[in-house]
Structure 1
Amino acid sequence: MTSLTTLYDRMIADGDLHPDPAQQAILPEFERIRAALDQPVRKGLFRRAPEPPKGLYLWGGVGRGKSMLMDLFVQSLGDIPARRVHFHAFMQEIHAAMHAARKTGVDDAIAPVAADVVANVRLLAFDEMQITDITDAMIVGRLFQALFAAGVVVVTTSNRIPDDLYKDGLNRDIFLPFIELIKDRMVVWELTSPTDYRQNRLGGTPVYFSPANAEARAAMAEVWTDLAGGPGEPLTLHVNGREVEIPEFRNGVARARFHDLCGRPLGAADYLALAKAARVLLLDNVPTLGRSNFNEAKRFVTLIDALYEARVRLVCSAAAQPEMLYLEGEGSFEFERTASRLREMQAEGWGG
């Protein structure tokens, strides 16, 4: 088992990281958890299992290295049963498992679902904890109580301080005990690095590739590898009782083809949900627009508006430059605003 500090120093020596005092300051907290989990769990008739260590709630601005540090930490755990998962995807799994449990006639669907999680891990590492859904808010407190009671350690990243989770949400008073639970069972730490590494990785490099040829595909693949840091998994967004699947998602970075998002009957609510879940969107194969694909063009305009208002970083490959995408047909005049936004979104430093 290799310590997190050793892995971090190795990446600096290899030129993959620059030393960052704010990141280095948090390493002992990760090491504290790793050392405690590395102790053998001895249970006997007169011997109680040791108290699990406090977890870690690591919050701060976008691009400060929170996800990178958590990935390194999980890598350092060796054979310790651990799972790293995006929080949104985890909650979707919980909803599906509870639905299946209810079909068996159980009175409390959370209990067997939590027991299944406990049976498989000693540590859960969540990326980007955020609560925007009332059903998540209703479930998460009881679920985490069960996990903590069973000795599962939780490490999570978030862009929000715990007190701002589910801020202004419906019936937020029922959620407040969960915030207190976080503060009691986890060390809350703000990563205050002044550097936005995600912006720096995009800084000075193109984010709009045209035409959408083999060279553009290679460039998009390179951006994905650099930002996401590994293979993505599908992400299912639950919007007004419907499911919207994003083909690839990792570390707050989403990737989809134009047809995935604009060739299907999606609307503003779907795109707003995507903008909440992702901080960067890679969009492949935007075609030329006009009479033949008028509905797709309208959806594309709505998608760009949602991304723009949420300050989501857009990287895309397209058949033509923004001003040449929509040259004829109804809506071409209105598209000038979208073309202008696409240009603005290419500027270095643009984004949340």
Structure 2
Amino acid sequence: MAACTVPVAVRCSIKFLFKDTALTSKKICRLTFNFTGKSYTSWRTCSSSSSSCSSESPAAVSTFAETIGHYDHLVQCGSLRKDAQQRHVLQQLAQLQHTLKKYSNSIYLSPSPPRLDSKDVKSQLQKDKAPDITTAEKKGGESADKEVPAPRPPKGFYIYGNVGTGKTMLMDLFYSRVENTHKKRVHFNGFMLDIHRRIHRRKQSLPKRSLGNMFTYDPISPVAMEISNETCLLCFDEFQVTDIADAMILKQLFETLFKTGVVVVATSNRPPDDLYKNGLQRDTFLPFIDVLKGTLKDPQRARERESERKEYCQTICLDAGIDYRTLDNVAAGKLYYLTGEPGAEAFMDALFEELALRQKSITGPQVLTVLGRDVTLEKTCGSIADCTFEELCGRPLGASDYLEMARLFDTVFIRHVPRLTLTLKDKARRFTTLIDNFYDNKVRVVLLAAAPLDRLFVHSGGEDERDRQLLDDLGLSGEAAERLTLFTAEEEIFAFQRTVSRLMEMQTESYWVEGDRSHSNKHINT
């Protein structure tokens, strides 16, 4: 009955969205890269009927020449646009790819620290303080022969530039062709969530403190050692630092990762020197930038280790001034509605009902359990959720909640998105995090918003009373609000450019087809 009440205009849109996926895929040259535990499809697609445009097996294509040749082939078949900067960056990544084929960081690792379940807590804590230093074996009261210094690990890359310039595409093309099983590709938000979980788990495993037996314990280096034992290549997408807790962790964490031979390849919209720009207590974060770039501030140490400068990551700017997400993409019907449009709510209702007919489930609320908390979504049906902006961004939710939603749902309706002014900074932050996680996991979105996408975020709105209260609580002067991103929303303004670009791509036919999990065994790693 629901289908009979669908307006003609909506039926046309729905018919377009529901074209048989198998049939549609024949018209779309998709670049599929197989990851460990996860399938990723490139955001770059092309219309082509040629079978020669299909991607080759990553296991069969590994050498430098073949990687560049594959990229050139994708340009020739129309999957990618010719971009000299992209090709130059890929050349450098391909060289690293060849180096990593037989690379292992095992020579930089100390013996793994035992679990903290022994009575001798002090002994274990002492081991955890310097896990990256291998102790020479003692024999007859004398030290063993002096060990030969290990060779330097390969340099990683920090690739930054404007939105939509191909940073993620190149990193994933590189990652998919690295013939090394000890590798991991994650979104930076997901990586930091995992770090906090590991830190919490280690703290929970500590013996209970007793009177007269007090001790301090720093779990960051041991957590870094866990990761170093698991992988020798870490690829991060969207490297950004907006949280003071993350800022305090990163220096020590990455210092240990680098010393234990972990190679890092990261993408970001910001150059290293602008990370956590104008953040609270940024002075304590600056040493991390030195660690990332491999520079040393101490003049004496700098002279002693001049040859070791920039030994960890090479910084590359990729910015041709083009947002490829906005070019030549076929729209997947109407997925962005304006609140003032006649019948906008009815259109979305009809689209939800049509999608729900394909689900083997009933419509109703669903409770998500995230880190021991219950998060209720009032209207769901199988892999579809129909939510309001307040439901998703008006509550104190974060990346872990949105990752769980991305795991459960392949399509999410977001209704009543307001014009995001500076007085709504908290909600704007959550909305950006929401879209980042949905985009990274190919979740499809249908929106009902108060303004067109390019005018949804407004750089005005007046002073927030909560900001004034926070300034008072922190004992900061009014001048702080003029420079700290916590109060100026500079980070939100910067990040929302990426959000707009991604939302534009999320309305395309190729994205809609790739996000359909009903014809595949796609799953999301959280």
Q: TM-score normalized by structure 1?
A: 0.67
The question of whether the paired residues in 2 share the 8 Å contact of 1:258 and 1:286 is answered with: yes
Q: Structure 2 vs 1, CA of residues 276 and 40 (structure 1 numbering), >3 Å: closer, same or farther?
A: closer
Aligned-pair identity in percent equals 33
Where structure 1 has 5 or more consecutive residues not aligned to the other structure, the ranges are 218-236, 288-299, 318-352
- Give the distance between the partners of 1:130 and 1:255, measured in 2 at CA: 26
- Give the distance between the partners of 1:165 and 1:216, measured in 2 at CA: 44
Structure 2 matches for 1:227-306, cutoff 5 A? Answer: 242-243=397-398, 245-246=401-402, 247-248=405-406, 256-258=412-414, 269-275=426-432, 278=435, 284=445
Q: Structure 2 vs 1, CA of residues 240 and 118 (structure 1 numbering), >3 Å: closer, same or farther?
A: farther
Q: 2:193 aligns with which of 92, 97, 102?
A: 92
- Give the distance between the partners of 1:8 and 1:151, measured in 2 at CA: 29
Where structure 2 has 5 or more consecutive residues not aligned to the other structure, the ranges are 1-58, 109-144, 207-215, 295-311, 337-346, 356-391, 419-423, 459-495, 508-526
Deviations 1:96-152, CA, capped at 9 Å, x for gaps? 111111111281211221111111111100001000000000001110001001000
Q: Structure 2 vs 1, CA of residues 49 and 97 (structure 1 numbering), >3 Å: closer, same or farther?
A: same
Q: TM-score normalized by structure 2?
A: 0.46
Structure 2 matches for 1:1-40, cutoff 5 A? Answer: 1=59, 2-3=62-63, 4-40=67-103
Q: Structure 2 vs 1, CA of residues 215 and 73 (structure 1 numbering), >3 Å: closer, same or farther?
A: farther
Query: 1:200 aligned to 2:308?
Result: no
Query: 1:122 aligned to 2:232?
Result: yes
CA offset at residue 208 of structure 1?
3.2
Q: 1:132 aligns with which of 242, 246, 250?
A: 242
Structure 2 matches for 1:175-214, cutoff 5 A? Answer: 175-184=285-294, 185-202=312-329, 208=335, 210=347, 212-213=350-351
Deviations 1:62-87, CA, capped at 9 Å, x for gaps? 00000000000001102342111101
Q: Which residue of 2 aligns with 1:68?
A: 169
| Aligned AA (2:164) | G
Q: Which residue of 2 aligns with 1:220?
A: none
Greater Rg over alpha carbons, structure:
2
The question of whether the paired residues in 2 share the 8 Å contact of 1:37 and 1:80 is answered with: no
RMSD: 3.9
Q: How many residue pairs end up in the alignment?
A: 278
- Give the distance between the partners of 1:173 and 1:240, measured in 2 at CA: 31
Q: Which residue of 1 aligns with 2:142?
A: none
- Give the distance between the partners of 1:155 and 1:278, measured in 2 at CA: 23
Q: Quick check: 1-10 or 174-183, which moved more?
A: 1-10
Q: Secondary structure, in 3 states, of the residue corresponding to 2:327?
A: helix
Deviations 1:29-74, CA, capped at 9 Å, x for gaps? 2123223222455969965543111110000000000000000000
The question of whether the paired residues in 2 share the 8 Å contact of 1:85 and 1:127 is answered with: yes
CA offset at residue 283 of structure 1?
6.6
Q: Structure 2 vs 1, CA of residues 191 and 43 (structure 1 numbering), >3 Å: closer, same or farther?
A: closer
The question of whether the paired residues in 2 share the 8 Å contact of 1:64 and 1:191 is answered with: yes
The question of whether the paired residues in 1 share the 8 Å contact of 2:161 and 2:319 is answered with: yes
| Aligned AA (1:167) | K
| Aligned AA (2:93) | F
Q: Which residue of 2 aligns with 1:297?
A: none
The question of whether the paired residues in 2 share the 8 Å contact of 1:63 and 1:197 is answered with: yes
CA offset at residue 92 of structure 1?
1.0
Query: 1:308 aligned to 2:457?
Result: yes
